[in-house]
Amino acid sequence: MVGGGEGAFIGAVHRRALRLDGTCTLVCGAFSSDPSAAREFGANLGVDAARAYGSWQEMLEIEASLPDSERMEAVSVVTPNHLHLPIATAALHAGFHVVSDKPATISLSEARELATAVEKSGRCYVLTHTYLGYPMVREARRLVQEGVLGRVRKVYVEYTQGWLVDRLEKENKQAAWRVDPARSGPSGCMGDIGSHAHNITEFITGARMETVRAWLQCVVEGRALDDDGAVFFKMSNGATGVLTASQICAGEENFLAIRVYGEKAGLIWNQEEPNTLMIKYADGQQKRVRAGVNMPLGATALDVSRTPSGHPEGYLGAFSTLYTDFAKMVRNNMHASPGPDEIGYTPGIDAALRGMAFIEAVVDSSNADGEWRDVVNVR
């Protein structure tokens, strides 16, 4: 693991996620950019002292020199965004598989560079768009694919938070790098959470967001990046939609919600109550689909379920699913995700490319006072 030391949020989430299913083990790490802090933090985590490295360069060098049976198999990159590319490419180059936090890089050109590195290396790459790990998100995708909604026409997707309602960045490490263009990339809110909304929309509908008209705002005075935004979009399947993302919605927690409407029915899911999926039919019937290993769900949802219905699973379970998918890919030498189709279940390099293309198109459109912009089709 690279990053995730003192004061980080997502590092501890990754560590719990990789442990839950027992499919991955944390064997070494460079947990901070400060070498002594990195070593101390690693030791506190219970990592073998010799493998609590002072820097990621040191980690890659030494681990690469270990015999196969002893060295780490993969690197988990949980640093601020601007370091994703150098660390991931170096790791791939050194022969390690990579799990990376999102967004994949800080630009589309960087993402293309990363894609080349993945391809050349022949190693596995997974991007932790956590929400694709939820059973009901996979079930939603299946229901759309099986035609339960009919032809999809309309999507509303939103991701609202309230934690940046004030200038938290002055005191909070998490906030500080997220609103700093040098470390976060060209977009704040839209890159951090709008990208999840984009990703889940393409995943569930199985279609691409092709064209966007965006309106990014910096609501809190003095902030260097957008903390709020809205996007009109057109999709490759003819559907249209509205995406909103905001981090200044006072009191909101982590409200990622999607509604997809077709000719025959609509489906509704939100991440704060992730074990329920509503389907509303045009004729007035409504079904409440519930998660659980014992429930009448498709195989793609059941495969990533751990408990019977009524024993709620949550965010850490979804995250863990991505690590377990990753472990399966590594063990089975699958360079693409284990899903059966084009987009796949586990977000990988395609999701990385598409995400960065989306962010750039949105920023570009907003800078052009909301002109429509195409999202580069990276495939």
Other Cβ atoms within 10 Å of 348 Cβ, number: 28
Stretch that binds a copy of itself, among 53-61, 66-74, 81-89, 238-246 (CB under 8 A): 238-246
Query: Does 328 interact with a copy of itself (rule: CB under 8 A)?
Result: no
Task: State in angstroms the smallest separation of the CB of 328 from a copy of itself.
Answer: 15
Return the amino acid letter for 107. S
In contact, 133 and 318? CB cutoff 8 Å? yes
Strand extents, DSSP E, 30-189: 74-77, 97-100, 125-127, 152-160
- Residue number, 89 or 324, with CB nearest to a copy of itself: 324
Least CB distance from residue 128 to a copy of itself, whole Å? 13
Which of 35, 122, 147, 310 contacts a copy of itself by CB under 8 A? 310
What is the amino acid identity at position 101?
Answer: D
Stretch that binds a copy of itself, among 12-20, 71-79, 330-338, 350-358 (CB under 8 A): 12-20
Residue found under tokens 């590195």:
117
Instruction: Count CB neighbours of 277 within 10 A.
Output: 24
**Binding-site string for a copy of itself from residue 158 to residue 197, where x marks contact by CB under 8 A and - marks none:** x--xxx-xx-------------------------------
Q: In terms of CB distance, is 65 or 367 closer to a copy of itself?
A: 367
Binding residues with a copy of itself: total (CB under 8 A): 84
Contact 273, 258 (CB under 8 A): no
Q: How far is the CB of 119 from a copy of itself (least distance, A)?
A: 32
Q: Which of 3, 29, 185, 266 binds a copy of itself (CB under 8 A)?
A: 266
Of 37-66, binders to a copy of itself (CB under 8 A) are 45-46
What's the CA gap between 140 and 89, in Å, rounded?
A: 34
Gyration radius of the chain over CA positions? 20
> What CA–CA distance (Å, rounded) separates 143 from 137?
10
The neighbouring-strand residues paired with 374 are 211
From the CB of 158, what's the least distance to a copy of itself, in Å? 8
Q: Interface residues for a copy of itself in 275-294 (CB under 8 A)?
A: 278-290, 292, 294
Query: In this chain, which stretch among 104-112, 114-122, 267-275, 323-331 interacts with a copy of itself, using CB under 8 A?
Result: 267-275
Smallest distance from a copy of itself to CB 282, Å: 4
Q: Which two tokens stand for residue 235?
A: 């999709």
Hey, what are 42's tokens?
A: 């690693």
- The DSSP output letter for 192 is I
Interface stretch with a copy of itself, choices 7-15, 139-147, 189-197, 348-356 (CB under 8 A): 7-15
Sheet containing 97-100: give its strands across.
74-77, 97-100, 125-127
- Which helix or strand (DSSP H or E) is residue 321 part of? helix 315-331
What does the per-residue mask of binding to a copy of itself show for 125-164, with x meaning CB under 8 A? Answer: ------------------------xx--xx-x-x--xxx-
List the one residue out of 53, 40, 37, 48 whose CA is nearest residue 1.
Answer: 53
Would you count residue 309 as binding a copy of itself (CB under 8 A)? yes
CB 377 within 8 A of CB 211: no
> Between residues 64 and 165, which has the closer beta carbon with respect to a copy of itself?
165
Instruction: Choose, by CB under 8 A, the member of 192, 313, 325, 360 that binds a copy of itself.
Output: 313
| Dihedral (CA of 269, 76, 93, 325) sign | negative
- Told to check if 237 binds a copy of itself by CB under 8 A, we report no
Rule CB under 8 A: which of 342-371 touch a copy of itself?
A: 370
Distance (Å, whole) CA 32 – CA 18:
19
Tell me how far, at minimum, the Cβ of 302 lies from a copy of itself, in Å: 12
